[in-house]
Structure formats: C-alpha cells, structure tokens
Amino acid sequence: MDLRLRDSILLVSLAVSTAALYARAVSSRVRPGPTRLAMLLPVTIFFAAIPLVFSSALLRCAAALFLAWLGTFKVVLLAVGGGPLDPTLPALQFVLTTALPIELVIIPSGVHPDKARSMAGPASTSSLASFTSKVAVIATITRLYKYFHEMHLYVRLVLYGVHVWCSMELLFAGAAAACRGVLGVEVKPQFDKPYLATSLQDFWGRRWNLPVSAILRASVYDPVRARAGKEAGIVATFVVSGLMHEALVYYFTLEPPTGEMVAFFLLHGVCRVAEDWCARRWTARGWPAPPRHVARVLVLLFFMATSFSLIFPPVYRKGREEMLLKESAEALEAFFAGVVV
C-alpha cells in the first residue's frame, strides 16, 4: 500500500475516533435535545468533510458511506436520544459502532445459545467460503474488463452490478469481521441474499444493506409515518436515500449531482407503495400468490431496467469506469500482496 495512503487512513482513523469519543463524552453529560444537538453539530460537519481527504475515489466513496452518511445520521439520532449509539457503551464499542456500518447484537447474560442466534438475525454472509467466492468473482470480473470495449453495454452493466454487490458485501463483511476480532461480540448481518428477493419490500427491507435500512427507518421512516402515514414514510425514506446516493456520487466523482439517483429511489419508493396497494387487493380477491421463482425474476428484471437507466450512467459517464476499474484492480493487487506476505 502507498505510504501516503496508509498515513491518510491512519490519521483519519485517529481523527474519527477522537470525534466519536467527544460525542460519547458530550452525550454522557448532556440530555437529549437542542443543546446536545448543537454540541454534536461539529462532529456531523467533520464526518461530512473527512472523506475528501482521500485522493482515491473508492476510498472517498467508502468513507462517505461510513461517515458522511451513516456516521452523521447516527450522531444526529444520538443527539435526540435514539439510534444505535449509546453513551453507556464501552469506549471502543462506541467508536466502532460510530465509524463502521455495523449493528451490535447485545445479548443478555444467561440467554440460551439458540435464542442468541435468533437475536442475531439471518446467517451472516461473512463466512470464509462466502468471502473467498466474492473475491474470486471480483477478480474474474476485473480480468474481463480488459475486453469491456468489445462488450455490449448491457453485458457491461450486469458485470458492474455484480461487481458493486460483491464489493459492498466484502466491504461490510470486513468491517463486521474487524469488530468481531477486536470486540469479541456478534454483529447483525449486513446483507441477506438480495438475489433471492421476491418483492421490493423484501429486497429493501429485509435483504439489502440492512445497516442503512435500520438507520433510515429510525431517522426518516418512523418520524414521518407517525405524522403523515405509512405511504408518506416510505416515499420520504426513498427520497432521503436518493439524496444520500447523490452525495456518494459527488464524493466519488467530485462533480455536481445529476439527479438520476434521486429519480431511481423516488421511482422505487412510489413502486413500493404501489406494490403494497396491489398486494392488499390481490389478497382481498383471494388470488394465489405468484410462484416465488417468478417473483424473483420479475424483481430482478425491474432492478436491471431501472439501474441500467439511472444508477450506472453517473458512474460510467465521461470515462469514469476506467478510473473505477483501475482502482479496483489496484485494490485487488494490494489485497493479494497482503495475503501472500
């Protein structure tokens, strides 16, 4: 790894840990409310700015997801007395929960092992076999990219989609494994076989990027639903997610947002509401549910159609895909070099 990059990661880690400990100290002494929020505001500003320290687009994007999005939302929820952060947590647990996309499983003493496993949720995807298979998939796709100029656009987009999914699972699984190793505690799984989703509700609510879903549920969906109803809560959640994805694209490209991410998530939010409406009427008429394999294919086709037209263009536009592929190849080389050493 480049020495300057390593030094940047170490310095950012130290600065983020200091900011998290400050947030813990403030929250231990100040009651939830406007005063705590004002005192924690510098932490949210810092988390929003710190990803820009990195010259690597991939690192900027990962840091933006972990800190500018999740970290900021966690701190705001902490300011009002909610969310996954608790000032009574041990210092190291508090820091890692703030900085990483994890949700700790707090199991009371004396709980039966079977009950503890059910509290942890679905089986984790960070097993050695899963990790190895995803590394192999990314390595294979990266090698295929040298032929991407000869590929049909849709084939390239499918490869991008698989690449992004595997990369995100590895990134989140690495964070979870680090917490298990350092803290010796279990964390909830971040993904649950999203390719098996049979509906938009199943995909977004139960299978894809569960730490983000939990944060959005606490910070957007629950408050809006309490005031304006379920449908408004769903649409508002997707709109906020779209805005944060626009921010991620900015951190990645350092160019102004185009609005395509907001359009994608607004479309999915509206379709998610329509899905509920149709499901209620389908059930009321006594019609049988479609076969699960048919539902999975329909969900997959919908995601492919909307992603190809709205999610991927901001990434591969203006030759950015070549920068992404170059950095991905370098990251893989660094990983394998570390394994060999």
H-run or E-run covering 232? helix 230-253
What is the mean predicted confidence (pLDDT) over 295-303? 94
Q: Is 193 left (phi over 0), alpha (psi -120 to 50) or beta?
A: left
Contact 23, 86 (CB under 8 A): no
Is the pLDDT assigned to residue 130 strictly greater than 80?
Answer: no
The per-residue pLDDT for 316 is: 74
Report domain extents, the chain.
1-99
Q: How confident is the model at residue 196 (pLDDT cuts 50, 70, 90)?
A: very high
Nearest-10 crossing angle of helices 72-79, 91-99: 130
Please state, rounded to an integer, the average pLDDT across all residues of the chain: 85
Position 13 pLDDT exceeds 50: yes
Give the model's pLDDT for residue 222: 96
Give 136-165 as a DSSP string: HHHHHHHHHGGGGGGS-HHHHHHHHHHHHH
pLDDT mean over 297-309? 93
Spatial separation of the C-alpha atoms in residues 295 and 197, rounded to whole Å: 8
Question: What is d(CA 57, CA 324) in angstroms, rounded to the nearest whole number?
Answer: 8
Expressed in angstroms, the distance from the first to the final Cα of the chain is 12
- pTM value? 0.85
Look at residue 39 and tell me whether its pLDDT is greater than 90: yes
